[in-house]
């Protein structure tokens, strides 16, 4: 993970990334649950479940590049199928794909599990 991001943004940029992760994750989860309960195409339901799982992982900030990329691919596929079939409004899925792709590229920020697991560690050598 450290190879993907040189630093994990903290301060105001980190707070912005936290809000972006929360917004993206919540919209992925709610849209996916609503769509699955309405019941429709099995492939689209499976893609929505992938979106829900990615949303949960994005909220906590775990494997953010992978979860963001998966959500972006799933939501892009959903948006393209909605554009071609005219069955629903594809713009929500398009916005979710863009937000998830942005998170995959920018990273999770300092307030995430990724930052705790893969961020730079400080060693205190003064006790030696």
For 41, counting Cβ atoms within 10 Å of its Cβ (0-12 exposed, 13-18 middle, 19+ buried), the class is middle
Q: What is the pLDDT of residue 2?
A: 47
Q: Is 4 inside a domain boundary? A: no
29 vs 71: CA distance, rounded Å: 11
Quick one: angle between helices 91-106 and 42-60, nearest 10? 40
87 vs 48: CA distance, rounded Å: 15
- Model pTM above 0.75: yes
Q: What is the pLDDT of residue 14?
A: 87
Structural domain span for residue 58: 30-118
Q: What is the pLDDT of residue 69?
A: 97
| Residue 62 per-residue DSSP state | S
| Positions in the chain whose pLDDT score sits under 50 | 2
Q: What is the pLDDT of residue 27?
A: 97
Task: Judge contact between 126 and 35, C-beta under 8 A.
Answer: no
Q: Is 17 inside a domain boundary? A: no
Q: Is 74 inside a domain boundary? A: yes
Q: What is the pLDDT of residue 121?
A: 59
69 vs 119: CA distance, rounded Å: 20
Q: Is 57 inside a domain boundary? A: yes
Q: What is the pLDDT of residue 109?
A: 85
Q: Is 35 inside a domain boundary? A: yes
Q: What is the pLDDT of residue 9?
A: 75
Q: Is 45 inside a domain boundary? A: yes
Q: Is 50 inside a domain boundary? A: yes
Q: What is the pLDDT of residue 4?
A: 53
How many separate domains does the chain show?
Answer: 1
Q: Is 128 inside a domain boundary? A: no
Q: What is the pLDDT of residue 79?
A: 94
């Amino acid at each position: 993970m450290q190879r993907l991001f040189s630093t994990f943004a903290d301060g105001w940029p980190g707070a912005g990334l936290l809000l972006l992760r929360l917004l993206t994750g919540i919209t992925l989860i709610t849209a996916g649950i609503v769509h699955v309960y309405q019941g429709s195409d099995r492939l689209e339901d499976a893609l929505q479940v992938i979106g829900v799982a990615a949303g949960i992982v994005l909220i906590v900030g775990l494997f953010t590049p992978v979860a963001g990329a998966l959500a972006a691919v799933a939501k892009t596929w959903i948006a393209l199928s909605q554009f071609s079939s005219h069955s629903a409004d594809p713009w929500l899925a398009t916005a979710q794909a863009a937000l998830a792709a942005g998170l995959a590229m920018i990273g999770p920020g300092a307030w995430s599990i990724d930052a705790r697991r893969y961020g730079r560690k400080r060693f205190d050598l003064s006790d030696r």
